[in-house]
Structure formats: structure tokens, C-alpha cells
Amino acid sequence: MVLKEASADQSTIEIIGNNSKRLMGGPTQPADTKVNTGGLRRVLKYEPNDLTVSVEAGMPFADLQALLAKNRQMVALDPAFFAKATVGGVIATNSSGPMRRSYGTARDQVIGMKFVTLAGKQISSGGMVVKNVAGLDMGKLMIGSFGTLAVITSVNFRVHPMPEQTHTFVFSFNDLDQLLEKRNSILYSVLRPMALDIISPPAATRLGLRGHVLAMRAGGSPKVLARYDRELQGATRITGAEDTIFWTQIREFPGDFLRRQPNGVVLRVSTKIGDLAALLRLVSGACICRAASGVSYVYLSSWQGVAALWQAAADNGWSAVVEFSPPETRASKELWLLGSSKESAEAFAMMKKVKQMFDPDLLLNRSRLYGRI
């Protein structure tokens, strides 16, 4: 009713959960009405044998993972700000982490959801089965929408078994080309790691390592992990609690950086896998790359370092997004470079049409999404 009444009055609306993603996207313009989903915390349905779970959007993501861990299960997402994030926030920002190498992003984990439109209607999309019938899944539009289309009230996830064990294999190189050669040998081998990240020297130093670092995480039975041991001779192996701590540090690197650098900017650059070398040679500071997908996170101490990377992205056809930055930066700077291709222009035109369909009067979370729509 709140949304319907606000819409009827042409009142602007801000939607928040636990506000852990407040440094992402465009800054929300002042609103007449604030909707907080933090009270929606129930587990609606959990079927361990069917590998599905349905929870309300305000449930802390850490609580959801703790619930599933009792059955050695998990939602295969590892977003930054893990301890404070809500389920709705993770989905609305399409957040993911190192595990996207093997499990994909939120769009691969969400099998259904419910959301409320400005007309006050609750829409159900998808269901509680991993494979749904083909057709338009309106819930997918909510993923990454930053609350600009509707209010997510509950989310249904596919659930994965937790690996029996996990081991991490770390390679350190003085030369970037050597690292990329090793990355390619793993990428095109029979090995199927959970995570495969490139860590630049300044970022490696924060993790207690040196040089250009390639970190790979593998999961499975002792027999499977023994295969990795044989294939990855020369790597430093990390196991047990140290393995968990290592990947927690990588997952939470953005928060750690922003605490140390309040004026810092985290730039997400998406390239072809073959272009990672060109990007890394442009970066003098900390950078962590999802080495199998071409998604890189560049850590800059201020906005001053953005211009050169922005230009390189434009010249090479890469997309670049300011993932995190201070409020004053987000209010005054262009935060998205989607490329100059015809496909990018068509994609943005479609986004505006979708926004018009759900929120024709531009009332919801104004300016949070691409192009400040």
C-alpha cells in the first residue's frame, strides 16, 4: 500500500535494506518516502533435498549462508560486505565474488522471486524448481536494478552442496607474462577451479604475498584435490582455516580498501580475457582480476587516476563502471562507460524502456542506475 499511495501522490521513494551498498551506483536523490525492507527476514521455504530455498529480501545474507551450512549447503555467491549485506541488496546490485568462476552470478542462482510494483501489485516470477519453463522471467529484470524498478520482497535460490574440502594454490611471478602463461595453462586444462584470480603486486602485499600472484581455489574430495596437487607443481598450497581466511580477504578487499582510503575509487573494468594483460600494464596500484571472465577491480586512491583508465576503456571497447566511490564523487562524476558500440547503445535504450514500463514517473531510487535513470 505504501508504494501505491506514494505513486498516486507522485511522491518520490527511496528503497533500502541494510544500506551496505550505499557507496555503489549513483547517489539516490532525496525522496519523500523511504521504504526499508530490513524487517523482512523470514525463511519461507527450505527444501534441502531439492536444493532450493526461499527467503525474504531483508534477511541478512550471512544468516542465510549459516542456515544452509548446517546441511553442508550454500548459495554460491560470495559478495563483498558479506556480514552486513541483505539478500535483497545482494540481488538488487547483482553482487558476486571469486566464486563466479565456477558458479556464475546472481542470475545463475536465482530461480524465482516476488516483488511489489508501484501499482501495489505483488508479482511472482519463476518458482521453486531449478529448471523453469522457457519464457520471460520478469524477476531477472530486478537483478542489478538497484531498486529502480520495484521492491524485491523475497528471493528463491538454487542451493549447491559445499565442497568436501577446499585447497588454494598460489603462484608468484616477477613477470606478468609468466603469470598469464600459467593462467592460460590452467584455463585450458581439464582442471575446473572454484576461483581463479590475478592479484597485482600492490594488492598482493596487502595479502602478505609478493609479486604478480595467481591464486586458484579448488574444491572436492581428497582424491580430486590430489589431482590438483599433481597438476600444479611449484605452487604454494593453502589449506584449512588459512584457505578460508585467504579468500575472505579477497572477497572483502573493497571494504578494507575503502576504510583505508575514504576518498578511494573502485573501478570495475570488463574486458576480453585476452585484454587483461593490456589492462594490468596500465594499472600501477592494487588490482584483482577474475582471471577466467575478464572482470577486473582496480583500486584508485582518488578520482584523479580514473581518466587514463576511462580513456583506455573507450579506446579498446571495454566497459567500465565505478563500483564504489565517495558520495561527493558519485554525485558529480560520470560513473558508467558502457562502450560506444551499437550493442551498448541498444542495451541502454532497452534499459530506459524497462524503466518506463515499471516506473514511468521516475519515482523509485532516482539516479541510482546507469545514466542516472
pLDDT tens figures, 133-189: 455 578 899 999 999 999 999 999 999 999 999 999 999 999 999 999 999 999 999
Share of the chain above pLDDT 90, in %: 80
Range with the lowest mean pLDDT among 147-151, 218-222, 343-347?
343-347
β-strand 13-16 against 33-36: which pairing, if any? Answer: parallel
Domain extents in the chain:
2-161+355-372, 165-241, 254-337
The pLDDT tens digits of the residues spanning 30-45 come to 899 999 999 999 999 9
- pLDDT above 70 (res 79): yes
User: In CATH terms, are 2-161+355-372 and 165-241 the same topology?
Assistant: no
pLDDT at 22: 87
- pLDDT above 90 (res 238): yes
b/e sequence 193-228, b meaning 16+ C-beta within 10 Å: bbbbbbbbbebbebbebebbbbbbbbbbeeebbeeb
In a 10 Å sphere around its CB, with 0-12 CB exposed, 13-18 middle and 19+ buried, how is residue 285 labelled? Answer: middle
pLDDT at 70: 98
Question: Taking the domain 165-241, which CATH number applies?
Answer: 3.30.70.610
The pLDDT of 328-353, averaged and rounded, is: 78
pLDDT at 133: 47
- CATH 3.30.465.10 correct for 2-161+355-372: yes
In a 10 Å sphere around its CB, with 0-12 CB exposed, 13-18 middle and 19+ buried, how is residue 353 labelled? Answer: exposed
pLDDT at 340: 56
What's phi and psi for 267, nearest 5 deg? Answer: -105, 125
Fold of 254-337: Alpha-Beta Plaits (3.30.70)
Contacts of 311 (CB under 8 A, 6+ apart): none
The pLDDT tens digits of the residues spanning 254-281 come to 999 999 999 999 999 999 999 999 999 9
Distance CA 288, CA 271 (A): 13
Return the H-helix or E-strand segment holding 178: helix 176-187
The pLDDT tens digits of the residues spanning 290-308 come to 999 999 999 999 999 999 9
> Which band of pLDDT confidence, cut at 50, 70 and 90, is reported for residue 337?
confident
Number of helices followed by number of strands (H, E) in the chain: 15, 18
pLDDT at 338: 64
> Which band of pLDDT confidence, cut at 50, 70 and 90, is reported for residue 349?
confident
> Which band of pLDDT confidence, cut at 50, 70 and 90, is reported for residue 330?
confident
Return the H-helix or E-strand segment holding 5: helix 2-8
Mean pLDDT of the chain: 92
